[in-house]
Structures are given as structure tokens and as C-alpha cells.
Structure 1
Amino acid sequence: MTITRHMLTLPGSGRRVHYRVCGSGPALLMVHQSPRSGAEYEALMREWGAHFTCIAPDTPGFGQSDPLPGEPDIADFADGLSQFVDALGIAPVAAYGFHSGGIILVTLLKRHPQMLRCLAVGGYAIWTPEEMALFGTSYLPEWHPAPYGEHLTWLWNRMLEQSWFFPWFDTREEARLSVAHADLPRVQQAVMEMLDSGNAYRAGYGAVLRAPRDIPAPGSQTPPVLITAYDGDPLQEHIDRLGEMPAGWEARKVATPEDHRAQSLAFLLEHASGPDCPRLPEDADEGWLDMDGALLHWRGTPGADRLVLHAPAAEMAPPQEAALAIDVPGHGLSDPCPDPEAAIHAAAERLGAGRIDWPEAPMGDPERLYPDMTPDRFGTHLLRAWGAARAEAIFEPWYEANAGHARPLDPALLEPAAIAPRARARLRAGDMAARYHHILCNRKDDLS
């Protein structure tokens, strides 16, 4: 089942929200946990899309969504979600959230009950004062790029071990989790999402951790709510902390993640009847083209004369006026595809560009310019990306570290904040960078 991606600028605030859509039928709003993005729901969206039009936004400051201004609290995140639902025109809407996604949605229910038709939650935290104090001092450290990439060593191990201990920094036997894993694709996805958020992760995650843990009073009139938590979920014991709940609320302990998802779906199907989801709005100057199941990210003015391409192992720069730009296949926010050159030409045609501005192929041997970015157990691929991104500001080609290949130094290019997006671009591109380099060296038609 196809997932599409969209950008929407909210009226009034001008804040941009990135969201995914899958399926058909009544709308289902799916809010991810922190510090993740809507991408964590892709498998679930393909499953539940048989029943619902699943809509998974990136919450503010995560994924590709703009952050909220200042120092937002949980009410600001709930109000921001309310603005998004309003802009889509889907209220009242059924909703699902896991962990911190559930905290945001319960806050939305308390502040804007008319927004929700029903709500299913996976794990709802009720922290003790002692737990709150512990999280406040250790759970959300400052996280900034360091000159030699040492921050990436911390990031990889923090994401790897968060399924081993809870909280992730508590390495006592009592804190061990039964759901421990070393699933490299899952760890890599979480790492890439943190690279997108940067230190801004502390705002969204912090708002959730500091949120009041009061649910509506027993006599409150609210939409129906189901909270479930499975064996091994550190929040399962919090089911016992919920106390008396309003009519229409239920909390259950279940055995497995599959049980949690099945019971959540059954609850949503029971309570989420409503009209089919309307056509959803999106921005006219940014989007994704569906290339036979592979999504290609573009920005600019459709019908503009020029389609500007970036270099291999890089990402698009904001297009100039009256121009278009894309992340070439397998780079940036574009999916890989079997025939990248054909996809580029097809994108130019579909966007109405008169010509393609191809970059020059970088100097050097493609076998050495683009080292292997396949994730490994110890996260060394992250340091390979950082090392290449740093060295390319000093030598050309970057792997020739000698006086004969020195390039004029621009101190700005050696700032960690400048190296970080270049390293991320290499990680995203992987082996597609060498394929694109080959296209640049061998193409015969530039559509000029």
C-alpha cells in the first residue's frame, strides 16, 4: 500500500508541517513518540490503511516539521496539533499515539475535546516525583555536533541501548528491559531522526516529560479512550497508576506488541465511524512525485524553466526564483529507484521544466569518494560519513590528504554545524552516490 508525503504551511502561524498519508476511509490521526517522526508508523499505516486514511504528521521540531517558537510546553504541542487538524479539515478525527504521542493526544483531548472522535494510546506514563527529578537531570542532555564527530558515538549507543535499559542511562540490573534488541535498521532510523532534530529534540521531548500527568476527572464528558501496554513496555506498570477514569475510558495490560496493535485497531474500528477523509491540502511549492512507488522530493515553482540538480552525496539547495530543485533518487528526502537517470528526466517533464542543470562530476575515484555507509553494530559508518565530510573541506578529492591536493581553506566549512548536514547527506545517499556519479560521467542528453 502506497504512502505519500506532503508539506503544509499552517494559516496564520506560517509553520510548516510534514505529514504522511496512506489508505482510504475515515481519517485516523497517528502521532509518533519522541524523538522520532511519522516514519515510525509506516508499517502500521500500510496495515491500518485497509480501514482508515492514516495521517501521520511529524510533530514540531521533529522529522521535517518546523519547531514551535520559544520554549513550548505540552499545551503548545497540543494546540499546534489542533491547528494542523483544523487546516486539514478532518475534525472530529479518530487518533492513535504511542508513548509521548499519547501524551500529546490526551492533552489535545483535554484542551480541544471536539477535535477527537476516539483515542487509542500505547502506554501512558504517570511519573512519580522521584522519576520526574531523575529525567529532568539526565534524560535530555544537550546534543551538539563536535569537531571530530564524537557526538555520533554517543548518539549511536544511546539509540542502541534505549531498548536495553529504561531509562537509557540507568545501567543497573533492575533497569534492564526484556525487549532488548540490536536491530540495526531500527537503530539507524532513530539515529537519522535525531540528526534531523538536532538539539531541538530537547524542546519536544522535554515538553512531554514535564507534562502534567492528570487525566480528565471521572465525571468528565470526553470521547472514548483505550490505553494498553504490553509485557516488556516500561510503561506497563503505569496502568496501575491511572486511578479512576472517566466513563468510556479503559486501560488494559496485554501480552505482546501484536496484542496492543490488534486491540487498538478493534477499538478504533468500533468508535471511529465517520465520513471518508476529504481531499487533504498541501503546499504548491514543495512535494513528492510518485515514480512507480519511489517518492522523489522537489521544491520550487512548477513550470519553471530550470530543474537544478545537486552533486552526489549532497542534498538540494533551496531553489532560486523561477527554478526547481530535487533531491536526486536515493539522496536527501528522495527514495532510491532502479533507474535514477530516467527518474530525473521524468521529474523534469512532470514538473514542466524546460531544461536540466546537471552538476559536474566531482574530481576523484568514485570507489573512494563514497565510502560504505551500511550501518554496522558499532556505528562506525557514522564516523566514516563525518570524516569524509570534514576532509572534503580541506582536500580535493577528500581522500588525498597531502599538500598536492590541498584546497583553499574556508573556516566556515569546518564549523561542526556546517559539517553536520554534509555528513547526514552522505549517510542518506549511501551507495546511490556512486551510481549518480556514474550518470554524471556518462550522460549524453542534458535536455538543455
Structure 2
Amino acid sequence: MITRHFIDVENDGNTRRVHYRKAGKGPPLLMVHQSPRSSKEYEALMEKWSSHFTCIAPDTPGFGQSDPLPGHPEIAEYADAAIEFLDALGIQRCAAYGFHSGGIILVTAVKRHPTRITTLAVGGYAIWSAEEMALFSDRYLPEFHPFDYGEHLTWLWNRILEQSWFFPWFATDDAHRLSVANDDPARVDAIVREMLDAGNAYQAGYGAVLRAPRDIPAVDANVPPCLISAYDGDPLQEHIDRLGEMPPTWSAQKVTTPADHQAASLNHLLATETAMVDGLREAGDEGFVAIQTDDFNGLIHWRGDRTANQLILHAPAYAAADEQPAGQIAIDLPGHGLSDNWNGEASTWGPWEAVIAAVADALDTSETIYPTLPDGEPDQLYPDLSPDRFGNYLNMAWQIVRARHMFAPWYQVDTAHAVAFDTERLRPEHLAAEHLSLINASAAKEFHIALQSRQKDN
């Protein structure tokens, strides 16, 4: 089972929160994702490799649910941040795996902290030419901020969609076409959500990787063994020929498929012994609890006072607030926020009641505070926001979060249903947070209907 955790990392008086995933019971394996993704992209691989390693995959700074680094960090700071994360966990030495920009971070970490990594496997290592770097220039990483009417969402969908068609994504000509083009809404949606999590912080992490020196350690460098491999269709496969001379324990190879790359990486990692570690540390005011009922088996996200007596429930289509007062602890309900979705029936109150009771027991709370239901009919309040080929669901959700500040219910746009509102709540930054909560709320309608039935019964 993959579990999720938070931990606070300190450096030079600054504290930043890091979110990480963990699976397995073997020696530790640090897994660093590519930009602009998060540790979620490694879930399938963690399940495969968890029989060999304790797989530990953090969201790198500024991505996923991890805080960004202060200032204007370069690749050295991201490499050091990976080591500081290990320090916070209490891990002295571990094996490591990174894909694309994750590999750049880890190679830099190996050069700066060679005694902390026992062995390293990398998927694709970029060695850019001067012409390629000039092509990237400032176009590859434009600023990404929310706009009042959701214009940023149209750009985001098409940018992510077409990055599988061309590399770089904006070079729309035959010379830069890729052989792995797709228009799979689920694949595009996964990356879109991670970009929405990161916001403009993606510029810092991704930019540091692009600007990073591409110097492989010297032949006589005292560094741990490393395998670099890339498969057909990976735009970095041709870069295998650019690596030049490497230390004797380093090697590189071209393979045919992603599965071949993963198999070669695993074999390489297993060839070096890495010591086991004890239990890992985590934050005390935010985390996840594993809950199992007849209809739910997964992780529930919580934040707040761990000694609280009051359990706070959010309204349908929302999520737990960022900060909770003393004496209160809030959760994301199933199918909302960072919590897992249902694996069974959820349209009656019974399954929700069972999960809430199990969470209250796990967090040792004695009083549950229920939300106020919004006005309106569930079928109209919560339309289908499943990802579609053209990304229309993103714009639909944005229009909903704007309208529900002005009308109740939001779909009744007339004088009779107009409500007073705070103009500050219409700032794009606030709407962006609500928008992300809404598109993450796959069980909003079911929760609304279940709450209605509870109210009728009471």
C-alpha cells in the first residue's frame, strides 16, 4: 500500500513543508519526479518496486503539495533540498532513481553529496546544445498565473496536450514532431492538475533544471555507480550519445520500451547493497489516516490540532481550510481534496457516516461539526466535470466558482437569486483555490444527497 505523509524540513532558519509518498519495507530508495509533475507519477512504479525497496517519493519544492524554496534557487539548491529531506526523515544513505529533471537533480546531488547516495538510476539525461538552449529561451517557461475569467486554463490545456506532439511544445513544425503524440484526456488531465497545484512556482523548479550545468562527473570522481537509460520515443534518447566519457562505474544504454528502462534501472539498483532504515519521521499537524469500511478503503487527509476534540467537515465540492484554530481538526472527505475516492456506494448517508465515525475514532475526536448545505438541486449544482478531449471541464468549473459567489444557487442567474459578495473573494488567486477543490471533488453530488437524507432523518 502507498501511504502519504508530510514532514517539515529546516535550513538556515527557514522551515518548509514537504509532502511524500511511501511504499514497501526494504532498503530506502529516493525517487525524484520530473517537472512539472509530482510524486503521484511514481505510484505505479512504487507498487512494482515496493517488494525490493522502501520507496520514498517526495514532491520536489514548489510542486505537488510541497512548499517552494525561498528566493531564486538554482539546481544546487534543489539537489541540497533532496538531501535535507533525507536528513529530516533520518536517512543517512539510500539508493536513488530519477526521471528526466528528477535525474538532473539527483546527479547534481551525487556530485555535491557523494556519500549520501549508494547507487543511482536515471531515465533520460539531457545534454542540450547551444542551439537547443537558444530555442528554449524564455518561451519554454512562461509565467503561469490565474486570470479573472479563466483564460489561463485554455492555455494550460493546450500546452500540456501538445507537449506530446512537439518538443519543445511551442515548436510546431515537422522538425520538432514527436512519435508519441496522444490526445488522451486522462493523461493530459493528470499533468494539468499538477500544474494547477504548482502555479507559477513551476517556473523556479523547471527553470533551475533547464539552466543546470550538464557536466557528468569526471572519470576519476569518487561517486556511486549510475545507469542512465532512455527508451524509443523519449526525446532524450538521442542524448545518450552526447554523454561523453564517464566514471568507470557509470554506464548508459538505449532501450526499446518504458518497461525495458524500468527493468534495467531496477537491476542496476539491486546490484548495490543499501542498508535498511528505521521508521521515518513526519509532521504532527497534517497527514493522512488509513480508513477501511465496507465502501471505502483508502487515505483521508487531515490538518489541524492533533489533540482537537472537534472534527470539522467541509461543504460539498470544497476541501479542508489551510489553517485550523486550536481545538479543531479538519479533513477532506472521500472524493474531495487530497483524500482518496470511494470504492463503493456513496449516495446514501450510511457509507459517509461510517467513514466519518472511523476517522473520528482514528483521530480521537468527540464532536463532529457538519457543514451547511448550499441551495439548489444536486444535479444542477454539480454537473459532470470529467476530463474531455478539449479541456472544456476546466472552463466550466471556473465559471461555476465565479457564479456561486454572486447567485444562490449559482445556476439561477437573476435578481431574485442574487446574493451579496465580497469582491476580494473574486480575486483570481482565491478562485483558483476554489476551482482546484471543485475539479477534485468527484463525490460532491453524492455527499450533498447524503447530507440531505441525514437532515431529513434528523
What TM-score, normalized to structure 2? 0.95
User: What is residue 194 of structure 1 aligned with on the other side?
Assistant: 195
Are 2:18 and 1:17 equivalent residues in the alignment? yes
The answer on 1:300 being equivalent to 2:304 is yes
Give the letter for the 1:94 counterpart.
A
Instruction: State the Cα distance separating 1:349 from its structure 2 match.
Output: 1.6
1:433 and 1:277 map into 2 onto residues whose CA distance is 41
Rate the CA distance shift 1:441–1:234 in 2: closer, same or farther, 3 A.
Answer: same
Instruction: State the alpha-carbon separation in 2 of the partners of residues 372 and 173 from structure 1.
Output: 37
Q: Does 2:265 match 1:288?
A: no
Q: Is the 8 A contact 2:105 2:209 kept in 1?
A: yes
* Structure 2: 5+ residue stretches without partners: 345-350
Could you tell me which of 426, 440, 443 is aligned with 1:428? Answer: 440
Aligned residue in 2 for 1:349:
361
Distance 1:446 1:324, change over 3 A: farther
Which residue identity is paired with 1:381?
Y
1:383 aligns with 2:395: yes
Which residue does the alignment assign to 2:453? Answer: 442
Does the aligned pair in 2 maintain the 1:357–1:446 contact within 8 Å? no
Where does 1:9-408 land on structure 2 (aligned, <5 Å)?
9-12=8-11, 13-271=14-272, 273-292=273-292, 293-317=297-321, 318-337=323-342, 338=344, 339-408=351-420
The answer as to whether partners of 2:93 and 2:275 remain within 8 angstroms in 1 is no
Matched, 1:409 2:402: no
Q: Which residue in 1 is equivalent to 2:347?
A: none
CA shift for structure 1 position 446: 11
Residue 3 (structure 1) aligned with residue 16 (structure 2): no
SS in 1 for 2:30: strand
Code of the residue aligned with 2:284 in structure 1: it is A
Question: Secondary structure of 1:10's match?
Answer: strand
**Percent identity over the alignment?**
58
Cα distance in structure 1, aligned partners of 2:185 and 2:356:
31
Shift of 1:256: 1.0
Q: Is the CA contact (8 Å cut-off) linking 1:312 and 1:437 kept in structure 2? A: yes
Counterpart Cα distance in 2 of 1:76 and 1:133: 24
Q: Give the letter for the 1:396 counterpart.
A: A
CA contact 1:7–1:283 (8 Å) conserved in 2: yes
* TM superposition shift of 1:17: 0.6
1:341 positional shift: 2.9
Q: Deviations over 1:216-264 (max 9, x none)?
A: 1111111000000111110011111111001100011111111101100
More divergent stretch after superposition (314-323 vs 189-198): 314-323
Considering only aligned residues, what root-mean-square deviation do their CA atoms show, in Å? 1.4
Q: What is the deviation of 1:444?
A: 6.0
> How far, CA to CA, are the matches of 2:228 and 2:67 in structure 1?
29
Within 2, Cα distance between the matches of 1:5 and 1:358? 26
Q: Shift of the alpha carbon at 1:348?
A: 1.1
- Equivalent-residue separation in structure 1 for 2:354 and 2:184 (angstroms): 34
After superposition, the C-alpha distances for 1:70-114 in whole angstroms (9 at most, x for unaligned) are 000000001111101112222211000000000000000011111
The one-letter code of the counterpart of 1:289 is V
1:7 maps to amino acid:
F
Separation in structure 2 between the aligned mates of residue 34 and residue 11 of structure 1, nearest angstrom: 23
The letter for the 1-side match of 2:277 is: C
8 A Cα contact 1:228 1:253, kept in partner: yes
Q: Which residue identity lines up with residue 98 of structure 2 in the other structure?
A: G
Q: Deviations over 1:316-362 (max 9, x none)?
A: 11211121100111110011123333111211121111110001111
Contact 2:94 2:275 in 1 (8 A): no
Distance 1:445 1:216, change over 3 A: farther
Question: In structure 1, how many angstroms separate the alpha carbons of the residues matched to 2:40 and 2:87?
Answer: 22
Q: Counterparts of 1:408 and 1:77 in 2: how far apart (Å)?
A: 45
Q: 1:386-441: per-residue Cα shift (whole Å, max 9, x none)?
A: 010011111111111111111113111221111111111110002x0011111221
Gaps of 5+ in 1: none
- Give the AA of the match of 1:90: I
How far apart, in 1, do the equivalents of 2:352 and 2:137 lie? 47
Give the C-alpha shift of residue 445 in structure 1. Answer: 11
